[in-house]
Amino acid sequence: MSTIDVAGVAVDTRHYINGQRVASAETYVNTSPIDGTFLGDIARGGEAEIDLAVRAARAAFPAWSKLGPHKRGELLNKLADLVEANIETLANIETLDNGALLRSHLRGVMPRVAMNIRFFADFAMNELKHDVFETRGHTNNVSWDPSGVAALITPWNAPLMLATWKIGPALAAGDTVVLKPAEWTPLTASYFADLTKQAGIPDGVFNVVNGYGKEAGSALTAHPGIARISFTGSVPTAKIIAHAAADNLTPVSFELGGKSPCIVLADADLDLAAEIAVEQYDNAGQVCLSGTRILVHESIADAFAEKFREKAAALTQGDPRDPATDIGPQIHQVHFDRIKGFVDRAIAEGHNIVWGGEPNAELGGLYFTPTLVMNPAPGSEIVTSEIFGPVLVMQTFSTDDEVIAMANGTEFGLAAVVVSGDRDHAARITNELVAGTIWVNCFFVRDLRAPFGGSKKSGIGRDGGIWSFDFYADVKNTVISPNGWKE
Ligand code: ADP
C-alpha cells in the first residue's frame, strides 16, 4: 500500500523524488509511540533512491536558482499559506508519529513551521541585499549566490519544525533540497511534500528520501553531487557525517546535543526559577536545548527544591492527544531503554533519586516518569551525558566561580539558562558561559533573526537570519575597477 490513513488523512509512505512518488523494494515498520499502534510500512531508501533524488535536485537547480528571490518568495509564501491551512492535519499526524503534545503542535510548532518558510522567503526578498564596499574607487559587490543541492538530515524530536528550519533558508537561498527525515518520524515530511506540489514548487526542487541513517543517510552525505550538508542529531552520527563530508569537502552545518545548565542564583525569584526548571521536562525531555542540570545556590536550595517539587508533582503524564497532558511518551523502545539504562545505572551507583526514576507503571508502554537526581557525584555519567529524556539532575554551588566552572564543565555548549533578580549579577555569569544561546529569566524564546547553534561539541555553525544564508549560499565578492571601461 502506498498511502496509509493517519488520523483520518492519507499519507504517502513512498519517497518524493522529482515531483513523483517512488517506491522501494524494501520497507520498514513505523509505529506510534503513544500506544505502539502500527502506522505503516515506510519505503526504505538506499543508494539508488538517493542518487535519483540528488540527480533530480541537480537538474532542477539551474531554473530554481535563476528564478530569483521574488518569484521563489511567491511560491514559498504560498507553501507557508498551505501549511497554515493544514495546521490541524499536520499536528495530528506529527503527534501520532512522534508522541509530542498535540496542543503544542497546534499552538506552537506547526504555526512555527509556516513561519520557518515565510520568514526565510521574506528575508531573501527584503534583507539579503547585495553589500557594496568601495576600495580606492573600486566597487566590492558581495552577493549570496545559490550553491547547489542541500542535503538535509533531521531528527525525530521535532520533525517538521527542524526540517523546515533548514528547508526554508535552503529553498529561499535558491538551493534545491534532498531531505532524509528521521526513520522513526517520516510522516509529516511526506505530507509536506504534497503541499510543496500544491504550492507549485517545481518538480525536483524539493525531494524526500525515507530510510535508515546508515543506508539512505550515509548515501546522501557521501554523494558527490551535493553542495551542503545540514544535520541535526547526535554527536556520534555527526562524526560519521563529518568523515563522509571530508571526502568531497562538503561544507557542513551541525546542530547537536547538549547538557545545558539551568542556573538559579541566590537572588532569583524562586517561583519563576521553579517554573523554568519544570519546563525542562517539556517534550518528555527530548529537547536538545533543555537545561537538564539544575545548578542552585546552596543558600536557597531547599526552598527552591520545595517549589520545584510542587510543580513537578502537578505534571500530568498521559496520551499526548489529551489537552490535559503535560508529558507524553518517549519516541521509541530503543530510546526508552537507553534512558532507563542511564537511570538504572545511577540508582545502582547509589545516587539519590528524589522523584520518578522508573517507567510509569500505570501507563506502561513508552511512558517514563519525570525524574530528579539530587547531588550526583561530579563527573558521573548522569551529570555529563546527554540523556534526552525526562531526567534532570540538581546540584548546589556556593560561589560564582564554582557555578561557572560547573556550567562550562561538559563537552557541550548548546544553551544555558540563568535565573537571577540582579541584572549585574546575571551579566557577570552570562559573560563567562560558553553556549550558543543563553536565556535569562526565561526559556525557549526564539527569534528567527537571531543566531542559533552550539559551541564546543554542540555543533558547527549557526542557523537564523543571515547566518542561514551564509551557510546555504555561496558568498561571492566581485571587485570592479573604475578603469578599463570603453564607454
Ligand atoms: P538520535 O540518536 O537522536 O536518533 P541520530 O543522530 O542517530 O540521532 O539521528 C538523526 C538523523 O541522522 C536521523 O535522520 C538518522 O537517520 C540520521 N543518521 C543516523 N546515522 C546516520 C549516518 N551514518 N549517516 C547519515 N545520517 C545518519
The response to whether residue 138 sits with its C-beta less than 6 Å from ligand 1 reads no
The response to whether residue 183 sits with its C-beta less than 6 Å from ligand 1 reads yes
Q: Tell me what percent of the residues of the chain surpass a pLDDT of 70.
A: 100
Contact between 181 and 159 under an 8 Å Cβ cutoff? The reply is: yes
CA distance 203 to 60: 7
- pLDDT tens per residue, range 228-266: 999 999 999 999 999 999 999 999 999 999 999 999 999
Smallest CA-to-CA distance from 78 within 105, 110, 106, 117 is with 117
Question: What is the model's pTM?
Answer: 0.97
State the pLDDT at residue 375. 94
Q: Identify the residue whose C-alpha is closest to ligand 1 atom 13.
A: 182
State the pLDDT at residue 131. 83
Q: By CB neighbour count within 10 A (0-12 exposed, 13-18 middle, 19+ buried), where does 43 fall?
A: buried
Retrieve residue 87's grid coordinates: 495546521
Q: Which residues of the chain have pLDDT under 50?
A: none
CA distance 141 to 376: 56
State the pLDDT at residue 1. 66
Q: Which residues have a catalytic role annotated?
A: 255, 288
- pLDDT tens per residue, range 58-69: 999 999 999 999
Domains of the chain, CATH where assigned: 3-256+458-477 (3.40.605.10), 261-440 (3.40.309.10)
The response to whether residue 234 sits with its C-beta less than 6 Å from ligand 1 reads yes
Q: What is each CA distance from 433 to 297, 372, 451, in whole angstroms?
A: 17, 24, 16
Ligand 1 geometric centre to CA of 218 (Å): 9
Ligand 1 geometric centre to CA of 180 (Å): 9
User: Beta partners for 327?
Assistant: 317
Q: By CB neighbour count within 10 A (0-12 exposed, 13-18 middle, 19+ buried), where does 208 fall?
A: buried
User: Beta partners for 317?
Assistant: 327
State the pLDDT at residue 487. 84
The letter for the amino acid at 452 is F
State the pLDDT at residue 231. 98
Choose which residue among 98, 153, 210, 331 to substitute to test ligand 1 binding: the one with the highest number of ligand atoms within 8 A of its C-beta: 153
The response to whether residue 155 sits with its C-beta less than 6 Å from ligand 1 reads yes
Choose which residue among 237, 339, 388 to substitute to test ligand 1 binding: the one with the highest number of ligand atoms within 8 A of its C-beta: 237
- pLDDT tens per residue, range 210-236: 999 999 999 999 999 999 999 999 999
